[in-house]
Amino acid sequence: ELITRGRIERPTLGVEMLTAQRVPELKVEGALILRVVPDSGADRAGLRGTLTDTVGRVRLGDVIVEVDGHPVHSADDLVLALERRQVGEMVEVTVLRNGRRRKVAVELGPPER
């Protein structure tokens, strides 16, 4: 890839994230989605980022806990899980949303520029 394109392009879900253990009230391991990149694979799959309403209350986003059946304990785990993948591939992502597990298919995209 480095030879043909002049750079290595790591695929992404299209999210900005934080290791969930840094948010004690979550009481889970995984990667908390802070923001979903518009028109990314995550956006098209319906993944949700963390939001703040008009009075300052925070609604926490989805927490990614698995990719293709492999546990995700941190944001770093998610990056490693995607390292050997290619842009355009589909992955099955398991998220926690409002205390319930949900599986979604996400198409990997290029890094945000």
pLDDT at 13: 96
In a domain, 103, yes or no: yes
In a domain, 91, yes or no: yes
Residues 1-32: tens digit of each pLDDT: 445 555 567 899 999 999 888 887 778 889 99
CA distances from 73 to 4, 6, 17, 85, 105 (A): 34, 33, 12, 19, 19
CA distances from 8 to 1, 2, 86 (A): 6, 5, 11
Interatomic CA distance for residues 67 and 94, integer angstroms: 6
Q: Which domain range does residue 73 map to?
A: 2-107
In a domain, 71, yes or no: yes
0.85 exceeded by pTM: yes
Query: Where residue 84 sits, what CATH number does that domain have?
Result: 2.30.42.10
In a domain, 84, yes or no: yes
In a domain, 24, yes or no: yes
Token couple for 31: 């990667």
Which distant-in-sequence residues (6+ apart) come within 8 Å of 64 by Cβ? Answer: 13, 15, 17, 30, 31, 33, 72, 78, 93, 94, 95
In a domain, 112, yes or no: no
Domain count, the chain: 1
In a domain, 94, yes or no: yes
In a domain, 18, yes or no: yes
